[in-house]
Amino acid sequence: MRTAVIVLAAGRGERLGGKTPKAFVEIAGRTILERALDSLMAFDGFDRLQPVISREDFDRYAELDLPPDPRLAPPVAGGAERQDSVAAGLAALPEEFELLAIHDAARCRVQAGDIARVVSVAEEFGAALLAVPARDTVKLVSDGAVARTPERAGCWLAQTPQVFHRGLYAEALAKAEADGFQGTDDAELVEHLGAPVRVVSGNPGNFKITSPEDLIAAERGIAQGEAQ
Ligand code: C5P
């Protein structure tokens, strides 16, 4: 199946502090978005990479140092919510791309081996995401008190890429829009449709850069990777 990845980089990243939008913050001399695109291009199973950025960031994007890879499409403008940005990326993809991966640029160190596994499971089963087992006990909290403690062995933390047959994802997105349903990830839209989503064991290094501490952790990981 011809496979495309939507690279989501239109968020403002307010929890990171600072004035620069998150995707354009540098780690060890290279922006988060450049690093994310490098990581995704290292997987040769993607036939198209479709960046989604804020409409305010086109000048910043033009300044990036990106390899001349013909698979990399020009960026499109995202929307107010993450789900709107996915819809904008999807609208820019020609119909020939039948398998759709969706990735947070803020997970800029995703590994090609993990991408290959989740893409292959999604191709076979229709929908799959990378996730890691929760190390801590998860509490569902309501009004400041514990409402329920799900069994830890069944708790996983969702990552991206999340990968879907395009028709299934388009149907899930249309239903979410019709129902006014907002998911915090893409698998949730497919779950809302009632279709099964496979879980593929990922890598804790593929965390989402959210806070200033995450930037430091990512920098440390990059330095260790380069030293090997
Ligand atoms: O806000 P959150 O950390 O969940 O964002 C995850 C990813 O989605 C980030 O890479 C961010 O740039 C992207 N995003 C987007 N459009 C939005 C909000 C978030 O592309 N409106």
Give me the CATH number covering residue 141.
Answer: 3.90.550.10
Are 169 and 97 contacting, i.e. CB atoms less than 8 angstroms apart? no
Q: Say what the pLDDT of residue 228 is.
A: 66
Are 121 and 198 contacting, i.e. CB atoms less than 8 angstroms apart? yes
Q: Say what the pLDDT of residue 193 is.
A: 97
Q: Please state the atom number of ligand 1 nearest to the C-alpha of residue 81.
A: 21
Other C-beta atoms lying within 10 Å of the C-beta of residue 197: 25
**Rounded CA gap, 42 and 213, in Å?**
26
Domain region containing 12: 3-227
Q: Say what the pLDDT of residue 227 is.
A: 72
**Rounded CA gap, 66 and 20, in Å?**
19
User: Ligand 1 center to residue 166 CA distance, Å?
Assistant: 20
- Residue 107, ligand 1, Cβ within 6 A: no
User: Ligand 1 center to residue 103 CA distance, Å?
Assistant: 10
Helix (H, G, I), strand (E, B) or coil at 133: strand
Q: Whose CA is nearest to atom 6 of ligand 1?
A: 104
Are 107 and 13 contacting, i.e. CB atoms less than 8 angstroms apart? no
Q: Please give the C-alpha separations between residue 150 and each of 137, 140, 141, 184, 186, in angstroms, as whole numbers.
A: 8, 8, 11, 19, 22
Q: Say what the pLDDT of residue 188 is.
A: 98
- Residue 34, ligand 1, Cβ within 6 A: no
The domain tally of the chain equals 1
**Rounded CA gap, 211 and 198, in Å?**
29
Report pTM: 0.96
Are 161 and 119 contacting, i.e. CB atoms less than 8 angstroms apart? yes
- Let me know how many helices (H) and strands (E) the chain has, helices first: 7, 11
pLDDT by position in tens, the chain (length 228): 999 999 999 998 888 888 899 999 999 999 999 999 999 999 999 999 999 999 999 999 999 999 999 999 999 999 999 999 999 999 999 999 999 999 999 999 999 999 999 999 999 999 999 999 999 999 999 999 999 999 999 999 999 999 999 999 999 999 999 999 999 999 999 999 999 999 999 999 999 999 999 999 999 988 888 776
Are 127 and 187 contacting, i.e. CB atoms less than 8 angstroms apart? yes
